Structure 1
């Protein structure tokens, strides 16, 4: 499977630390092209990674006969054009999450991909975390009995007093603590436990201005704190919080309490659970403590030498996408999953802005 990557830099960005090592760990894929905004930078990037073709025009990359799959890793407000270019060219496409700057954009991309009949995947790679998938199965098999409550608390270290990129400070760009960190983590929660039936939320910014690495101080309209409480379709009560800034203790903690037991998923090495190796502990019956639960090897679908942390779950998603393309079956998660998450984020925004509980589904 020959891949063209739109939005790759050797110096920064998620493509360089996750997509490139993930793809190179998998024998099914070969990176054959890169596209950046300038031909000089595209050629420099291609030389750096040993990629044969360089483009400054995303349509030309997508139309090239030696490209089978287009991976889109540019910033969120710029996803739409390269994704649509890939679809128009009849190429399979993997887009980073969030899929679009809003639900309408995401829906248009899904509709176009479905009409064209191409396979489509979105970078909600937490769904391919071995720990998260094992937890999903344990819950389904009744390890905790009836799920009564769940609590997830995470952090977004890049959303403290400073912010990497100024465009993320503008809520209209759709790339913020709520959509990125919050979107990944609430997706993992729903993957394990099911969807929300109703919710209330606070998505607020506690600063009016923020210092950014690329433009200095800018106005802040994106949320830097997120708190959601709700009830799932199963009846379980859920509390979900993302803190802006560094956490000096546990950076990610997800606890599931049921009628027969408990599961505790945690990370102390980063607040982005989709990019971390997660620990898992569980306890059942009359016991009053939890013990470590090893993750069965069957939840790992990539070569043993695949780099851990950022590349690992991305590689797991790519491996599933390769199977999807070979078999002509839907990828998971696809753009349909992205649209579902965009709708959930819309409900969170409505709950926060109106102060009213939102009913879903």
Structure 2
């Protein structure tokens, strides 16, 4: 459904920014979300592209009412797409792709139906995108978590990332360093990546997959150091349907492709459970590049060697030394959780004079 009264004036104009809103059963949050779109301070040409992915609650009624009553703002073009004859929802990636495909903006501002934009979001992210040297730009921002105390460690990590860490910490367990609910990107980047993965429809981190493919094609990452989005945490979010193992496999695969395949050798920092899991997840070629596990724990160091046992052949297929971090050779993969050692890990790394992104990457 296209609201003609609001789009006539814009029909002959190029669109600066398309706000991309995929929605499935979003009646609980949708009106507040759309109100935040109307309240944007951006003075350029705006388009709101919503794809309703087979909602069975009151979403369709809210959208119809909203476009009739609240979306008559002449500075915005409103487009609502749906596929009423589709047997079941296409999934998050599918809905995002359809919303993008029915839009025409030079830049794409992604907004989940359960989140809210602060009034200067589009304005500030558009300015940041215009300042990018690379036409393949992905812009994020700081965010407000709602409820406030729901994910303290994650929110602190994401909001405090430096410009360099947007790249250097891209493979940690926290997910994309440019937080998906704050994404603002050039259409050129979307096209270069080829859109979002649509299969499987459920249980797949389509945002993380897109992020890694964006890095592979040379995306420029930036973050506006202002809180521009209210990012809700709730158990009905699609992200809760993605297993940790699925995310782990994607992270390790991309880390090998983008980093390890270029290293002639490396050390794994952590001779415990997490470090061994990482080793076992590597390809045979990358396992052979591991020169040692390193650790600070005297009990682990006392083992001296890690032996990988193959149950099928009943043989030991690899022996890897376990050494002190003080004698470890970079580059290294750090398999120790961030922000969980009261600063001890960071102190060890400073003692070694290692630089993140050069001598080591965090994986946990």
Same fold judged by TM-score > 0.5? no
TM-score w.r.t. the length of structure 1 is 0.29
**Highest CA radius of gyration, 1 or 2?**
2
